[in-house]
Structures are given as structure tokens and as C-alpha cells.
Structure 1
Amino acid sequence: MDQDKLMELLGRFTADLGATGSAGLAVIGNRLGLYQALAQGPATPGVLAERTGCHVRYLTEWLNNQAAGGYVSYDLATGEFLLSDEQAFCLADPSGPNISAAFLIALGYLRAEPRITEAFRTGAGLAWHEHHEDVFVGCDAFYRPGYVAELVPSWIPALDGVAEKLAAGARVADLGCGLGSTAVLIAQAYPNTKVIGSDYHAESIERARKKAADAGVANQVEFEVATAQTFSGTGYDLVTMFDALHDMGDPVNAARRVHDALAPDGTWLLVEPNASDTVEENFNPVGRLYYAGSTFLCVPNGLSQPGGYALGAQAGEVAIREVASEAGFTRFRRVAESPFNVVYEIRR
């Protein structure tokens, strides 16, 4: 036995186990607004208790954990905890990555561990709507900042002629819209455009309607409870789908429905997780993150639906291209990418 390799593995285990527990503490910080309170300025546990109304003893352990993990900074001279500019941007700024919300997703899907364990034995699925609401709320909170930063400024302009259509006034279908953030963003950016969002999860649609009303775009955005195979309407100038196709049991028929619903010169904007077609190239931190989420969320949801597919979050471009081709699309172009996502322009 190689002792150096053994110690390396044990070191990795220690980091992972600490991160697992710390995920729960990040969620507590998210729920209680602790990061935002600390962003107001350096604080001892006592000062942070005064700001938040939380118990100082719990805050002491929480701050020590966050500092040990590098999420919070510590001033040895003053005994105060604080957020650097980078930490504040990622954890406390509403326009930042909102990384504590990602831990909300993980804690939400981990609640389903007993059912997923049994599914390993039976091959049964577990549908999206059967998960804890933290999954839905966390996904929206975590992904929305990325959509704010990329969708209107970068992704839509990368599509051939689409931004001009939306500015003039177009019809958009947002499939698998979840809590409605992307539909609302498109409506806010293009006031002449009409957006119809759809999701099979009725609770998400209820939240989406409220989000649109709160944003003042309820006159532009409608929502319906429908699957990607059954959403209503035709003649759409743009159909959007964000991180949803790989979750479906029947992505081919969903793609066929998109094909039929588009106007002759319409565009399908498809956003999927960034993944290599070669499995070993996904053996990296991003791939590890996605494979975990895929095991708990994406594959079980696909297996819960008819169709025979369970692509998973790391399906890769070849698999996605094959789905589009089988559905009748002839033009498929990668127009943008980030470490987490790939954006495709798909046309008839």
C-alpha cells in the first residue's frame, strides 16, 4: 500500500466530509441573511448577533466554520469576521452568483436519498415534482444570476437575427420555465415581445405567475401547466429551453413538438450543461458536481417518464445533436459556452 496515496485519499475524504456539513451551514446563512448582515461590515459574533437577532453561541460556531472553509475572512488583530469583496459578491450581492443557493439545491435533493437508494435496486424513477421545494427554489435562486448576466447581453445576441425580432415584437415559448425567471427576463428586455412559459409542475407555475406580476410584466407573460411535448401554440419566433432537455424521458418528441411549434424561420435556443462527449474528460470538479445532481435529479426524472431516455446532466453535444436531428432539425450550432453551460442555436 502506498502511504502517500492513502494519506491523499484520507485528505480528500476530510475535505469532502467537512464540505458536506458546511453545506448545511451555508444554507442556514442563506435562510437567515447572515452573509448580507456580515457584508455590512466586520463583526464579532456578538455584533453579528445584534445585527441579526440570532443566538451568539450558534453564530460563533457558524463564523468559525465559514472562516475555516474560506467563505468568510478573519482579522486576527481585531478578532472580527468579515467578507472580502469577492466573498461578498458571491454570497451577499443579489446580482452575484448566489452560491449559497446551490447548497440549498443539494440539501433539497439529498432529502430523497432513501428513495434514490431504493431506485438503484429497482430502476424506478423519481419525478421532479416529488422532490422537496428547496430544489425548485434553490435552482431558481442559483441559476437566475447567470441568466441575468448572460441571456440578454450575450446568448440572445449570439443567435442569428433573433434579438432584432424580439425588439420589434415576437412570440416566445419558454419550456420547462420553472419559477419563471427566464420568461420574465426576456419580457423585461423586450417589451414588445409576448412570452408563454410552460412547466409540468403546477407549483412552479404558481410561483412563476407571482414573479411575473411582481416584476410588472404580467401583461406580457402567460404561464401554463404543460409538458414540453404538449405545450400550446405554434408560429413561435423563438423557443427557449434552459437546462431541461436532458431531464426528459422523451426528449425526441419534445424536440419534435418544438420543431412543429416554430415559425418557418424560428429558432430554438437550447441551453444544456457543459460536458465532453468523452466520459473521462468530465472527471473534473464541474463534472463531479453535475454527476451528483444528475444521479439525484436528472436521471430519476427521466426514468419516471415514458420515452426510454435518461440522458443525464453530462450527456454531451453528440447526444443532444442526435436528439435534434431525429426530431427533424437540420441546423445545429454552438453559439456560446461557459464552464457550466453550452448554448445551442437549432433551426429547421
Structure 2
Amino acid sequence: MSPHELATADEWAEHVLSAALGAMDTLAIHLGDRLGWYRALADQGPLSATALAERTGTDTRYAHEWLAHQAAAGMVTADEHDGVRVFSLPDGAAEALTDGGSLAYVSPLARMLAAAASQMPALLDAYRTGGGVSWADLGDDARWAQADINRPWFETMLAPSVAAVPELHDVLGRPDARIADVACGAGWSAIALARAYPTARIIGIDVDEPSVARAREHVRAAGLEDRVEVVHADGESLGGPFDAAFIFEALHDMPQPVAVLSAVREAVSPDGAVVVMDEAVADEPAEPGDLVERLMYGYSLLVCLPDSMSSTPTAATGTVMREPVLRGYATEAGFTDVSVLPIEDFAFFRFYRLHH
């Protein structure tokens, strides 16, 4: 039943109770993810509570309670084996909760929400005073959750998606093309571009030092140090010249998006390509909103808007950056037009090309 269809206090109470159950399930998923319980069940199950605790170096009593909760929530299946209660993780759940290479991987979402929940006192203060809570404040759980949930999409879908747009593919495939990955995070997008275009040189930049360090580690592990460089800098200091520049799911977080876009426009040659990937929200607010609207407003309330508000001055865009807002930023930065690229079914994202 939609909230718009709720009439009585009892119906509203049941609606809130359902939401609370979802929140409890999400935090329980976070426990299972961070303690290695899901992975142990996927790799070694079925397991009893005692066996699960032994294999993961955790407490048996807590493992028992968590398994009981997971069975009650329908996350695991329970059976009797030689008089001992054992638990299994279904194959679909194992992929969604433990396979970091799967497009269905969702455990990082629980990690992100747990990170935000841990900052609730700071969020309350920010909401009262107009202050902010930065990504640095949210810490590693949020930082690596963001990287991990986007990684399989970059590794699996970025190359074929870009290749399916001929005018973009041609630019990236130029001999010795220079490509900027602005706000590259943990480096997965830069690595994916380098693998897709073996003659290109990729320059990733990010303002977050831990992300830069992690991205450099990933580049070394991928054996791409000769073509991928990761620099600690902000988007406004982007130098050139570049054949192309990408901003993957980051423009809405930036306190000064117009300044960054202006720097990108100056850095990329007029016959090059500037691409912004951001949330595929509707052009106009919808009430009630669909899954994408609700998810992105949730991110905005807990993560993206507080991060933007932690800087001064700030555009305070928030996660729900609708196409007209992006077009306004692009026009102010000196771009002449914005087109939506024909890239679909790429998670919850939309790809825009900004034209000189």
C-alpha cells in the first residue's frame, strides 16, 4: 500500500513498523558482511552457530542470535543435521551479498547506511545549524562501500557501454589519447578505461587522500602504472590538454560544480568529449516517487547533501541532480549543449555528454 493510500493511524503505524524492520534487516546485513559470516556460509556452509563462530573468530552466542534473525527474516535456510541446527545461504543470496564482481552485489549499500547511521548526532547538528558531514567524517565504511558497489559496473559494463556510442568510442580510441577521470575514487573507472583503450593514458584525480592511495594500489595490482596516473587534486585544478574527461557519479557531490566543469571545458580539446555520469532521476519531482527517486533522496539526506554542505561556499546540489540542473551548470560553465547518451541499463545512472 502506498503512503498516499494510508488513512488511519494504525495503517501509518504499520507502515513505519515495516520501514523499521527493513532498517533492522539492513543493519543485520552489515553485521554479516563485516564479520565475514555471509562469506563463511557461502564458502563453507551449511554451518552451525558454533562452526560459524569458529571459522570467523567471532562469538558463538552472537552468531547464534544473528543466524536466528537471518532465518526469521528469510535470508538463510535452517535444517537439522545430526541433531544440530545448521544454516545455509541460498545461491542467489550468496551472489548478492558476497560476490564483489557481480552486478547484483548489494552488501556495500548496507555498509553505507551503517556509516551514515553512526554519524547521526553530527547529522542532527548539521541539519540544525546548516553545517555538514563530509565523506571523511563518514569514514572508510562509506568510502569503500561507494567504491565497491560501483566496481562491478565499471569492470563489466563501462567498456561495452562506451563502445556502443561511436562518436565517443572514436575519441577514446585515438592514438595516445589522454583521458581525465575527475573524482576517480578508488580507481576502478580509470582502470576500466585503460583496459578498454590500450593506447590511452588515463589521469585520475581525487581530493580524498585515502581514495588516491587506494586507487594507486589498485592500479599497481592491475599492472597499469605505465598508463594510469592518480593525482591528489581537485577538479578545479585540472590541467590539459585532454582528449576526453569523465566525471563518474561525483558532480552532485562537488561544492563548486560550475567551477569544476569550467576547468574541464578548458582542459579538454574542442574536438574531444566531456561525459558526466550521474543519477538517472526524473526531470520533475514525482510524488510518490519510484525506487530510484526514493533511493537517491535517501542518499542525499544521509550522505551527499551533508557532504556538500561541509564546504563553504557550496552549491548544495544533493544527490537528486535533475537534468535541468545539470544543464544549468553546464551552460554557466560555458558549454553550448548537453545531450543524453544512448547508454541504458547501467545501474541507476544516466550518461550526459557536454558539448563545447
Equivalent residue letter for 1:85: D
Q: TM-score, normalised by structure 1?
A: 0.90
* Structure 2 equivalent of residue 240 of structure 1: 246
Equivalent residue letter for 1:206: A
2:65 maps to 1:58: no
* Structure 1 equivalent of residue 190 of structure 2: 183
2:98 to 79, 83, 92: 92
2:210 maps to 1:203: yes
Equivalent residue letter for 1:14: L
SS of residue in 2 equivalent to 1:269? strand
1:334 to 319, 322, 340: 340
**Per-residue deviation, 1:281:** 4.8
* Structure 2 equivalent of residue 122 of structure 1: 129
SS of residue in 2 equivalent to 1:263? strand
Q: In 2, are the aligned partners of 1:235 and 1:261 still within 8 Å (CA)? A: yes
Q: CA–CA distance in 1 between the matches of 2:34 and 2:148? A: 12
Change (3 A) 1:133 1:3: closer
Q: CA–CA distance in 2 between the matches of 1:73 and 1:164? A: 51
Q: Which moved more, 1:7-16 or 1:49-58?
A: 49-58
2:25 maps to 1:22: yes
Q: TM-score, normalised by structure 2?
A: 0.88
- Which 4+ stretches in 1 moved above 4 angstroms? 75-79
Q: CA–CA distance in 2 between the matches of 1:268 and 1:4? A: 49
Equivalent residue letter for 2:33: N
Q: CA–CA distance in 2 between the matches of 1:55 and 1:315? A: 44
Identity rate, percent:
32
Question: Residues 207-262 of structure 1, C-alpha deviation per residue, up to 9 Å, x if partnerless?
Answer: 1111111221122111111111112x212112111111111121111111111111
Question: Residues 159-214 of structure 1, C-alpha deviation per residue, up to 9 Å, x if partnerless?
Answer: 34333443443111111111111112212232221111111111211111111112
**Per-residue deviation, 1:54:** 3.4
1:100-139, aligned counterparts within 5 Å?
A: 100-139=107-146
Change (3 A) 1:246 1:32: same
2:227 maps to 1:227: no
* Structure 1 equivalent of residue 351 of structure 2: 343
1:319 to 320, 325, 335: 325
Q: In 2, are the aligned partners of 1:44 and 1:79 still within 8 Å (CA)? A: yes
**Per-residue deviation, 1:128:** 2.7
Q: Which moved more, 1:31-40 or 1:73-82?
A: 73-82
Change (3 A) 1:133 1:92: closer
Equivalent residue letter for 1:303: M
Change (3 A) 1:93 1:6: same
**Per-residue deviation, 1:328:** 1.8
Q: CA–CA distance in 2 between the matches of 1:230 and 1:280? A: 37
Q: In 2, are the aligned partners of 1:124 and 1:300 still within 8 Å (CA)? A: yes
**Per-residue deviation, 1:90:** 0.6
2:274 maps to 1:271: no
Change (3 A) 1:42 1:120: same
Q: In 2, are the aligned partners of 1:109 and 1:132 still within 8 Å (CA)? A: no
Change (3 A) 1:249 1:3: closer
Q: In 2, are the aligned partners of 1:250 and 1:305 still within 8 Å (CA)? A: no
**Per-residue deviation, 1:311:** 1.3
Where structure 1 has 5 or more consecutive residues not aligned to the other structure, the ranges are none
2:52 maps to 1:44: no
Equivalent residue letter for 2:259: N
Q: CA–CA distance in 2 between the matches of 1:76 and 1:14? A: 32
Q: CA–CA distance in 1 between the matches of 2:339 and 2:116? A: 33
* Structure 2 equivalent of residue 250 of structure 1: 256
